[in-house]
Amino acid sequence: MATKVLMPQLGESVTEGTITRWLVNVGDMVSKYDPLAEVSTDKVNAEVPSTVAGRVTEIVVPEGETVAVGALILYIEEQGGSAVAESEPSTPAEAPAAAEQSAAPITAPTPSAAATAGAVTEAQQKPAGQKQRYSPAVMRLAQEHGIDLSRVQGTGMEGRVTRKDVQAIIDAGGQQPVASVPEASITAAAVTPAEAVQSAASARADHLSQAEPTAIKAQPTYDIPMATGDQVIPVTPIRRTIASRLVQSKQEAPHAWTMVEVDVTKLVAFRNQVKDEFKRKEGVSLTFLPFFIKAVVEALKEYPIINSTWAGDKIIVKKDINISIAVATEDALFVPVIKQADQKSILGIAKSIEELASKTRAGKLTMDDMTGGTFTVNNTGSFGSVLSMPIINSPQAAILSVESIVKRPVVIDDMIAIRSMVNLCLSLDHRILDGLVCGRFLHSVKQKLEAIGPDTKLY
């Protein structure tokens, strides 16, 4: 009797994934948490880890096929036949039982265990009935260092355990052993991280069909006449996601637009003066974008309502300032996030931009790289654009486009001068923001950019 491996839930809003490449073949022996396949989700590329140790007996889903979360993708015959029945993931029909197991109460830890850095019980960190999910990176790191994820206090959204949480425990010397607990508690705690992922996938599959969900819902078709020589390009999951989210943003958020022009002559002179030395000392190219992001971040501190999101009956003003940046590849657009950009210098922002751009081009962005953005800066000027109306990166409240810097004549003190000018275009969610606050915000960004000069600090 072989164990079923299901398409796991690899992200909060991920509903399907495409098997881009199998990393194992039928007959291969795998250990628990070994990567089985590369998957292209609607946000990033990810790896599917093995939930058990054993031999691969059957690959169900071929490469290139897209299946829903919870779909059966692989069979593994576990090592030691007697344990197979107990460790086999739940089928969709069995999901409620798995949910009950995860929701079972756990006895509180002893005082010594509670004092361990980052270690708490699931009962303390999650509401009853809510199952924890872990990313492959978190599970792999935990396995390498013997970390029990059920005892880790998550600092991510809704208590999610992040890679940083696990790394903090490793840096602190690892987890301390806990005292023995009653048998009933051990049964609940024995659900491993990987099994939790499987259980979550199974629970989700319960909402899909009683049959094994091996196919996603059909996409609408269009009766488009074709002529000889027309080329048909299949829509990739990433492109489909981009399309659906942009349509969603346009349908849900009433967009308004505004623009200011900024004289960045002094910024251009300063950057050209220091860029070579900066590159030599730091190993990072000094582009104009870090200066624009720095000015935006400082203006967001002055007008925090811009850094907010619409939540139905309320508006949530975000404390952290996490700047999403648009990074284009040949066939897709990704929006990774510079976390806590308000705590970074020009150098720190430049390094973050280069790191995220490199990971994007290499296809190595993680889910953590793509989530948590609170405001987006879109560098359309790199394409030569001088005016644009960007679509808001929902559920954020606004997006700013930095257009191309061009020299043109302007009137200063009733005289005509040649200056380096740039347009800053802001799209705003009119449910949250009005012209007054957005105008003040843009004016603040403009003032900060026009004040850049030899005294501007890069570090």
Classify residue 459 by burial, with Cβ atoms within 10 Å: 0-12, 13-18, 19+.
Answer: exposed
> What stretch of H or E contains 348?
helix 346-361
Reading the block at residue 422, the tokens are 């740039």
Q: DSSP for 86-117, please give it.
A: HHSPPPGGGHHHHHHHHTS--PPPPHHHHTST
Phi, psi of 257 (to 5 degrees): -135, 150
Report whether 117 contacts 144 (CB < 8 A).
Answer: no
Residue with the two structure tokens 């980052």: 118
3-state secondary structure of 415: strand
Q: Which residues pair with 334 in a beta bridge?
A: 327
DSSP assigned state of 395:
T
The shares of helix, strand and coil residues in the chain, as percent rounded to the nearest 5, are: 35, 20, 40
Alpha carbons 273 and 215: distance in angstroms, whole number: 57
Residue with the two structure tokens 């696990």: 166
Classify residue 438 by burial, with Cβ atoms within 10 Å: 0-12, 13-18, 19+.
Answer: buried
Report whether 149 contacts 194 (CB < 8 A).
Answer: no
Report whether 373 contacts 337 (CB < 8 A).
Answer: yes
In this structure, what is the dihedral angle of CA atoms 163, 164, 169, 172, given to the nearest 10 degrees?
140
Alpha carbons 42 and 324: distance in angstroms, whole number: 17
Alpha carbons 8 and 208: distance in angstroms, whole number: 14
Catalytic residue among 148, 430, 443, 455: 430
CA 191 to the chain's CA centroid: 26
Q: Which of 429, 426, 422 is nearest to 442 (CA)?
A: 426
Non-local (6+) Cβ contacts of 363 within 8 A are: 45
Q: Annotated catalytic, 207?
A: no
CA 239 to the chain's CA centroid: 16
| Rg from Cα positions in the chain | 26
Q: Which of 442, 296, 276 is nearest to 375 (CA)?
A: 296
Q: Annotated catalytic, 342?
A: no
Catalytic residue among 207, 276, 320, 434: 434
Q: Which of 445, 86, 397, 446 is nearest to 249 (CA)?
A: 397
Residues known to be catalytic: 430, 434
